[in-house]
Amino acid sequence: MTMDAIQLLLCTNGHPGTLPSLEMGVRLAAALHARVTLLGILEKESARKALDACLAETTAGLQQEGLENQVWREAGKAAEVISRCAQGGHYLTVAGPMGRSALRRVIHGRSFRRLLAMIESPILYVPVLRWPVQRMLVCLGGLGYATGIEHLSLSLAKVLKAQVTVMHVVEPVTLDYPTSRQVHDHWQDILKTDTPQGKNLRLAMHELESAGIEAEFRVRHGSIIHEVLDEIKDQSYQMVGMGSQYSTHSLRHLYLQNVTAEVAEVANCPILTARPGYDLIPLMGA
């Protein structure tokens, strides 16, 4: 699939927390000339008036941009409705905080965690509006699991004329294999190594440069979550691309932290995620 086939699924349950995602969704759709499905989820009757207002304001914005759009209204739990609707097309799902209570967040986590688990297509989680997108951070593990987010980020950066920073975090060695030891011992020069990580990261940088995108590479050492959050805090990024714990079929994701969700719940910027099975063809060349 190519970038011009992508449709945007903009989601709201009427909560004010979804307003930044709706606004960014409209602006992104205008930049991509993408078709838009505006999804309104009625979770409780008392939210109907606020939901109607969100839908009306967003529809007006889409019409002002001259974008092809349709409005769907469904009743139910937001995560379930959004995940079901996202399966019906080549969507990039754009969503924000749904206004869950503190107790519910403690027990179940934010709604983004459920969306991440239930939706196989890409998601853009927008807690705050950051526009225009001039700088993107793309976090790659180096083992080929993040090809989905790599290609999606590359294509978006090409359209948005954004600079891209590719970052890799080398974790402390927990399993003492020869490759992991080599990566750890030469982490500052990982791009020059003959490891699988070095080869994949060099390929990612080559694809960015071939597409004419201004790109730089950074490597950090330590806990992935802490290092990613520190990088976001230290730099001015308008979007961060990350893979998903559901990117691999191994059992590893069953006992490790959900890195993308942990970062999204703390980082004060939009988080873009995609699985490697996502078949977007990157925009190479001119």
Give the pair of three-digit tokens for residue 239.
């979007």
Contact yes or no for 111/79 (Cβ under 8 A):
yes
| pTM given for the model | 0.87
Q: What is the pLDDT of residues 177-225, one digit of tens each?
A: 555 555 555 567 777 888 888 888 989 899 999 999 999 999 998 888 9
- Domains of the chain with bracketed CATH: 3-125 (3.40.50.620), 135-273 (3.40.50.620)
How much of the chain exceeds pLDDT 70, in percent?
A: 79
- DSSP assigned state of 3: G
146 touches 276 (CB < 8 A): yes
How far apart, in Å, are the Cα atoms of 135 and each of 15, 87, 132, 153? 28, 30, 9, 11
Tokens of 63: 């019409």
Per-residue pLDDT tens for 74-130?
Answer: 999 999 999 999 987 789 999 999 886 544 444 444 577 888 888 988 999 999 999
User: Which amino acid, 190?
Assistant: I
